[in-house]
Chain A
Amino acid sequence: MTDAINRRRKIQNTVWLTLTGVASLLVVVPLILIFYHLISSGAGALNVAFFTRLPAPVGETGGGMANALLGTAQLVFYAGLFGIPIAVAVGVFMAEAGRTRFGSFVRLVADVMNGIPSIVVGIFVWAWVVVAMGGFSLLAGAIALAVMLIPMVARTTEEMVRLVPKELREGGQALGFTRWRTTLGIVLPAAKSGILTGVLVALARIAGETAPLLFTAFGNPFWEWRLNEPVASLPLLIYQYAISPYDDWHRQAWAASLVLIGLVLVVNVLARSIFKNPYRSR
């Protein structure tokens, strides 16, 4: 009797553990397949020219994506420049005043914005910035990416600030610090590594966004430094090359995908190594 029950429980245990293990494998397999495919199709097209030359004119083989690499870097840089300060400030506000009515309203807005399809962000920025400025531009692309970045970073900042023990905040206030001094001088430094991790993950995420750039940054076959001109980017070029009829462009699109996903991977690994919560480990 009890033996039978015990055996049943053991079998159930094994079944459920196996199921979760299989599900976990299913998650890992696509990533491995993606990498395998990218490397086999794209690694051949990765050469010095890819990183240093402009795209070749239509019909010619060769050329590279140097301007798109630069463009993505510019877009991510400006998006971070505009977005990160706002996002961190909003995150701190949500953590400090989250219980008020306005605080929970802001959190709702951030969650909704996190869920907005990126193409909608692109259309919105097109209507408000591109039309107003009279043309596609690096600035519009960066704004679109910043709109994507702000809710992500704001929410992680909020979580990280909440992780800071309340004793630390009380410690500051017990010394006669004002609330903002406590927040800026003690709480934020304590949450620094977590916030930085969130920022890096968000930057990696927006670096790969395509839809918000379609009608904002638009793309550009040449080098571009000016904020008010269209600019090239890796995701857009991948899209453009992938739907083209040329085999050489297809290879380059694979190579660009490989570079992009490699960047995302590197940034994520970096973010993981940075993140450590001193109050958890000790």
Chain B
Amino acid sequence: MEDPTVARARTPHPPTHAGTVGRERAATSTPETVVAPPVPQVSHPSESGSRETAVTVEATDFSFWYGANQALKQINLKVPSRKVTALIGPSGCGKSTFLRSINRMNDLIPGTRHDGDIELDGESLFSPDQDVVRLRRRVGMVFQKSNPFPKSIFENVAYGPRVNRLVDSRRELEDLVEHSLKRAALWDEVKDRLDKSALGLSGGQQQRLCIARALAVEPEVVLMDEPASALDPIATQKIEELIYELKSDYTIVIVTHNMQQAARVSDRTAFFYLGELIEVGNTDVIFTNPKKEQTEAYITGRFG
């Protein structure tokens, strides 16, 4: 399961991006797919072998309004499993709105409405029997501004699994906390002060703690809203390496204003402009040979 190339996270693109939009659907029904815990639902194509990729999140004609203001216009986008999909575009283009629609965080804002649909593993996010609390457990989120709870480091990670009753004993909880902190590459830095306040950590450590917290409730998808925009280059690099490692187990969608970051960490890139999805494709293609003029203008810094 561990890809040996994972350690070299600075490699901008893994060798293959085999899944094309047209083929992705097929994989969900491919019989010989392997089910890999702890993520139960998807096939797990290895980085180099399989030519097909399962789709985890699929938006169909998805539109979104804040009051009278339409923020998203008929978005059609497929997010492949266990890949990093970057959403880029100038401020106000709707990329964050789209991201926050995937775990329905926009529900919290009064006066919003939507049209069309987003499916998670073929299941509509907006169907009446969708439990939004359960949905948000399956789709974790990391925010732009690190937001650790005013609790100890341990409690920050332990609170989610405990509330969601994912563990039966203290022992299990401790294991899960340790595992999550290790996954977030934070364990070695905090293992001796787990009972200290999380607010005493540095900005980069706080953000990795928030990632650990999100991973602790065992999500399938992790949404990241400009996770490194408030961090210095070294902390940013750590977060990027982490994203690169996490994609072997999680489907990741990341919003970023940083073109280099999108190019470095993502497998696929979607360019949003004025509420529309202008272009989506493999990251190397988008950055070297975009089809649309607007995309090229944006990534070369001519506007935005």
Which A residues are within 8 Å of any B CB, using their own CB? 99, 165, 167-178, 181, 185-186, 189-190, 278, 282
Contact = CB atoms under 8 A, between A and B. Distances in A.
Contacts of A178: 133
A190 B198 CA distance: 12
Contacts of A181: 163
Nearest to B137: A176
Contacts of A99: 110
Contacts of B214: 174-175
B141 interface: yes
B160 A175 contact: yes
Contacts of A168: 147, 149-150
Interface of B: 103, 105, 108, 110, 133-137, 140-141, 143, 145, 147-151, 159-160, 163-164, 199, 210, 213-214, 217
A165 B147 CA distance: 9
Contacts, number: 68
Contacts of B110: 99
A175 B159 contact: yes
B98 to A, nearest CB: 16
Nearest to B213: A175
A173 B163 contact: no
Contact of B210 (A171, A177, A278, A282): A171
Contact of B105 (A174, A177, A186): A174
Given A167-B147, A181-B163, A173 B217 contact: no
A173 B136 contact: yes
Contacts of B133: 176-178
Contact of A189 (B145, B151, B163, B213): B151
A171 B147 contact: yes
11 contacts: A165-B147, A170-B105, A170-B108, A174-B105, A174-B136, A175-B140, A175-B164, A175-B213, A176-B160, A177-B163, A278-B199
A30 to B, nearest CB: 39
Given A168-B150, A174-B140, A189-B150, 19 more contacts: A165-B145, A165-B147, A168-B147, A170-B105, A170-B108, A173-B136, A174-B105, A174-B136, A175-B137, A175-B160, A175-B164, A175-B213, A175-B214, A176-B133, A176-B137, A176-B160, A185-B163, A189-B149, A282-B199
Contacts of B141: 170, 174
Nearest to A192: B150
Contacts of A186: 149-150
Contacts of B135: 176
Contact of B150 (A169, A174, A177, A190): A190
A171 B151 CA distance: 13
Contacts of B148: 171
B266 to A, nearest CB: 21
Contacts of A176: 133-137, 160, 163-164, 217
Contacts of B199: 278, 282
A282 B205 CA distance: 14
A282 B145 CA distance: 13
The 3 closest A-B pairs by CB, nearest first: A176-B137, A174-B141, A167-B147
